[in-house]
A and B are shown apart, each in its own frame.
Chain A
């Protein structure tokens, strides 16, 4: 079946502009995660959506970052007033909620470059 889909694949933006990154999870997956991966680094947790519960926003680095998930499916990560340090690959992943051994299924990521 279809995997996790992210768009755009690459995004170049000027410092100070807003950007929106989109994630379409695997159908039926109720958990959705956003991670940030800076060049050569590990995965930094940003935010997690779990069904209809309030999202876990504990990983968002600043109030310039926000995310929403509409209808329990597609999610959008928004970065306002982008800064050069926001340049990274943003990875989205989804998983089943009620299967504890269910792994994360990742999209191909969006490479964001802030100039």
Chain B
């Protein structure tokens, strides 16, 4: 089974600064999908950004962007101009191409310091 690793249990960033959250995964597939989810204290899981493995271009969504390194099996999330509302738990997720299984990392708790 695929595994997803988030090696940073906690991170902090000053408001308006940039922070990068790390995610690595293990797979033998060549095609798959990667996601970052945000879970604020309200516990609603919200999709932040997605990346198709067959696309070389890194996905971006406003202040959120990814650094997808397929060979290294790395999928980091960069948050620019951090805002107080970005404080949340962030989960990296992997979706298989042939099946419909999702695998989640253990999460990174992000604190934004005013």
Partner among B43, B52, B102 whose Cβ is within 8 Å of the Cβ of A104: B102
Expressed in whole angstroms, the minimum distance between the Cβ of A113 and any Cβ of chain B is 14
Q: Is the CB of A97 within 8 A of B104?
A: no
The docked-state distance in angstroms from the alpha carbon of A41 to that of B52 is 27
Kindly state whether residue B47 has any CB partner on chain A within 8 Å: yes
Q: Is the CB of B106 within 8 A of A108?
A: no
Tell me the chain B residues, 9-50 only, with Cβ under 8 Å from chain A.
Answer: 33, 35, 37, 42-47, 50
Q: Is the CB of A50 within 8 A of B100?
A: yes
Tally the A-B contacts, defined by beta carbons under 8 Å.
53
Q: Is the CB of B52 within 8 A of A101?
A: yes
Interface residues of A (CB under 8 A from B): 31, 33, 35, 37, 41-43, 45, 48, 50, 56, 89, 91, 93, 95, 97, 100-101, 103-106, 108-109, 111
Which are the 5 A-B pairs with shortest beta-carbon distances? A106-B45, A42-B106, A43-B104, A103-B47, A101-B33
